[in-house]
Chains A and B, each alone.
Chain A
Amino acid sequence: MIRRDLLKGLATVPVLGAFAYAWYKKRNYERYLKDNILEEIQLKATAPEVPSSGPMDKKIRLGLIGYGIRGKQLARAAGFAHPELIDSWIKSASENGSDNRYKEFLEQEDLNVVLNGVCDIFETYGHMAREAGANIFREGSGGKMGPAPKRYHNYQDLINAEDIDAVIIATPDHWHGPMAIAAAKAGKHIYVEKPMTWSVEESYEVRKAVRENNVVFQLGHQGRQTESYFKAKEAVDKGLLGKITLIEVTTNRNDPNGAWVYPIHEDANPNTIDWQQFIGQAPDHPFSLERFFRWRCWWDYSTGLSGDLLTHEFDAINQILGLGIPHAAVSSGGIYYFKDGRTVPDVLHTVYEYPHRGLSMVYSATLANNRKRGRVIMGHDASMELSSDLIIKADPRSTRYEAKIKEGIIDPALPLFTYSPGMQNVDAVTSPTEQYFAGRGLLYTHRGGKWVNTTHLHIKDWLNCIRNGGTTSCNIEQGFEEAIAAHMGTIAYKENRKVFWDADNERIV
């Protein structure tokens, strides 16, 4: 009877043995695949090396020119948010527990800077910039404030102020060059929004002024701080993609804001806006609220898709591949959707040729469709898709991976390598479900990798070079390359011809 009890009582125990055996076999097979792939690619999915920064003990005195959409974001990234914005974050967080914007802002590292001067030619923004600059304790309305920065009505006065070491320029494109040049000449360090310049000529002048005056220059391509781009560079440098012949970068947007039809502020009128200062070097034009707030729609003040969005794509690829200025450019496109009087195209395609590197880069954009086309670097052996994540897939016809594809170790339909910032994954080959989440940015918001604002890191990088020397991640040489490439695309579009870069004479021809 006891024997019978034992047999029946433990009858199912062998199932655990079967489970363990099946588990072991499966793990072994997966390990075999992973080891083989890792041996082939020699690339770990651990976080890439990113430049470290030195001590921050020296307080840097900032000036901010332009407190529009981007100026507000830059001020925030430097640690200065308008109290009303904080009010809205707090309200939103109380209604929706997963809204962490205020919490994240409070956690944003203190960069040891003081905002001593602000300049905006629209009264309301000028006042708001002061209020943001005073908000050193990061509080909402009615909270404790620090001293408000001085407001300047003219950028020259701000640049020349004794108590300002460095300036952040976030104005319309046609002001980037003149302000950067003035700041360099005054010996002030410069963080200027992209594109670096509005005209070709200014590009040489900005470069000359920065070089001669030895100021620290950072161009506002915060993408330079994106972790996956560092990893992408590692992968390319290791030759995982094989010979690269084609790069495809895209912009797809489909809403008025994305097409630069920004809201017009209710306080705005000829009395509250210094229109003459806005015009600057642009052709004279009667006062226009549309032109003031939606300046990106007119060549008079803007560089269109080339300067606003192509430059981000160009700079990302330039960071990874170090392509420099292209040999030639052609462009085509038109104003096909936004028939609102704009002069810049809303559909644009630019092709850059790099014969010495044996590759082309294609940029393609529309402001009236939101399809995600991504950013892909195509090589003979693999393709790399780049966003905040990085996915490399072997090419089915690759020479390098041919044997492993035949053996079934590499499946061209599945990622050969993936990198998602914040993942502590050391063996890189992730499950499809994880991929699915990662692609939507769902996994790593709350744990492990903490999301940090890239603009904040980009400003931090600039400040670090001011304090401790070294070169910024988007320095004047890279800025020059960005500006010239963008201008080549624009000239090709406007003049409907193929334009070339004469590298010996440094001229666009």
Chain B
Amino acid sequence: MKYSNTQLSWLVILRIAIGWHFLYEGMVKLMNPNWSSVGFLLDSNGFLESFFYSLSSDPSLVYLIDLLNIWGLILIGLGLILGFLARPACIFGIILLSMYYLSHPPFAGLRYAVPSEGSYLIINKTLIELIALAVLFVFPSSSFVGIDRFIFKK
């Protein structure tokens, strides 16, 4: 794939921005000894509600989910920022975001305890971030700008 300099610049900026967000979300959770996914899981709504509820009922499972969340977010963030295994990072990011989205889908008639900072109907920022990762996946930039350049030699 060939990009113009402008196209490549904006793809890298988008990648860094999403990476930064993931990294920060992960770090915040890592540094907070009280953080747990339980509250978020219990706040689930919509057609997968019972699935997310059941995840929250087993403490050892919750522990695993917390660990996967924290380190998933941090590693995906680093991967996107550094352009290191950026395409797998996109895939894992999409998986994580789809979990967040599906547990709290902004459908008409569903209400949440987690305060929302905007107004959403079906499309929310989680879904947009997810779509942006999909865009980054199909328009990879890390083999031009990023550590992947050393790995995936053209």
Contact = CB atoms under 8 A, between A and B. Distances in A.
Interface in A432-454: 432-434, 436-437, 440, 442-443, 445-448
A447 B145 contact: no
Nearest to A445: B38
A5 B150 contact: yes
A27 B149 CA distance: 34
B82 A446 contact: no
A12 interface: yes
A99 to B, nearest CB: 9
A251 to B, nearest CB: 25
B12 interface: yes
A76 B153 CA distance: 70
**Interface of B: prevailing SS:** helix
Given A15-B81, A423-B34, A97 B39 contact: no
Interface in A404-439: 423-425, 430, 432-434, 436-437
Nearest to B54: A97
Contacts of B43: 437, 442
B33 A16 contact: no
Contacts of A433: 114-115
B144 interface: yes
Interface residues of A, number: 31
Contact of B36 (A11, A16, A27, A447): A447
A356 interface: no
Nearest to A443: B39
A448 B32 CA distance: 14
A509 interface: no
A5 B40 CA distance: 43
A446 B38 contact: yes
Contact of A9 (B19, B115, B147): B147
A424 B34 CA distance: 6
A19 B20 CA distance: 7
Interface residues of B, number: 34
A389 to B, nearest CB: 13
B60 to A, nearest CB: 10
B7 interface: no
Interface string A327-346: 00000000000000000000
Nearest to B8: A8
B36 A8 contact: no
A503 interface: no
B27 interface: yes
B23 A447 contact: no
B36 to A, nearest CB: 6
Nearest to B78: A16
B53 interface: yes
Contacts of A432: 115
A10 interface: yes
Nearest to A5: B149
A8 B27 CA distance: 27
Contacts of B12: 11-12
B59 A446 contact: yes
A394 B53 CA distance: 37
Interface string B1-35: 00000000000100010011001100100010110
12 contacts: A10-B147, A12-B12, A13-B82, A16-B78, A16-B81, A16-B82, A19-B81, A98-B57, A423-B34, A443-B34, A443-B36, A447-B59
Given A12-B145, A19-B20, A447-B62, 11 more contacts: A5-B150, A8-B145, A98-B42, A98-B56, A433-B115, A434-B34, A437-B43, A442-B39, A442-B42, A443-B38, A447-B59
Interface of A: 5, 8-13, 15-16, 19, 23, 27, 97-98, 100, 423-425, 430, 432-434, 436-437, 440, 442-443, 445-448
